[in-house]
Amino acid sequence: MSSVHKPQKSLVLIGLMGVGKTTVGRRLAQALKLQFRDADEEVEQAAGRSVSDIFEDFGEAAFRDGERKVIARLLEEPPMVLALGGGAFVDEETRARIKAQATSIWLQADVETLVKRVSRRDTRPLLRKDDPETVLRALLAKRQAAYAEADIHVDASGGSHHITLDAILRALDDREAKT
């Protein structure tokens, strides 16, 4: 187990749909005794409707506006673990804010693993358009360069979330040791 101290800045989890940002984020928050927040949930609360309904009723651009505002607000709060929706870090403004105010962690997994994981829920509007594997491959190609700007890159392909959690704690430890 690692000896990471309570971070001074929020830890923001980024990466494609299905990689486990929310599940791992909750565990990371518990391990570091920080509060956990999920950007999608916060957008839903602010809008009073689900992500799917926001996409359907107002379109993706409106969702992205809400997402940008909600994340900006959350970054002003005391340090937390924040799981983002898969597209949020691609937004230039959001990425700049996170770079200035938080530590970003990219959870990576191969597309085959993601496909298996996303098949468990049907709550993601972008995956309803085409077959999930095609969509996820296209999104990865489009988003990879932005994701790669994250401070920490962690492999989340392994079978279990606690392996990913340990990898994050180790990476945070290493970073702390260098500062």
How far is residue 15's CA from residue 140's CA, in Å, rounded to a whole number?
Answer: 9
Shortest Å distance, C-beta 142 to ligand S3P: 10
Q: Which of residues 134-173 bind ligand S3P (CB under 6 A)?
A: none
Nearer to ligand S3P, 4 or 86 (CB): 86
CA distance to 104, 107, 140, 178, per residue, from 81 (Å): 10, 14, 23, 21
Stretch 80-119: interaction string toward ligand S3P, x if CB under 6 A: -----xxx--------------------------------
Residue 20 interacting with ligand S3P (CB under 6 A):
no
Shortest Å distance, C-beta 161 to ligand S3P: 15
Q: Is 15:108 a contact under the CB 8 Å cutoff? A: yes
Residue 132 interacting with ligand S3P (CB under 6 A):
no
- What lies within 8 Å, CB to CB, of 44 at 6+ separation is 50, 51, 54
Among 7, 79, 125, 158, binds ligand S3P (CB under 6 A): 125
Label residues 80-110 b or e (16+ Cβ within 10 Å = b). Answer: bbbbbbbbbbbbeebbebbeeebbbbbbbbe
What is the Cα Rg of the chain in Å?
16
Among 29, 34, 51, 71, binds ligand S3P (CB under 6 A): 51
- If binding means CB under 6 A, how many residues of this protein chain bind ligand S3P? 10
Among 11, 12, 13, 126, binds ligand S3P (CB under 6 A): 126
Query: Given the rule CB under 6 A, which residues bind ligand S3P?
Result: 17, 21, 40, 51, 85-87, 124-126
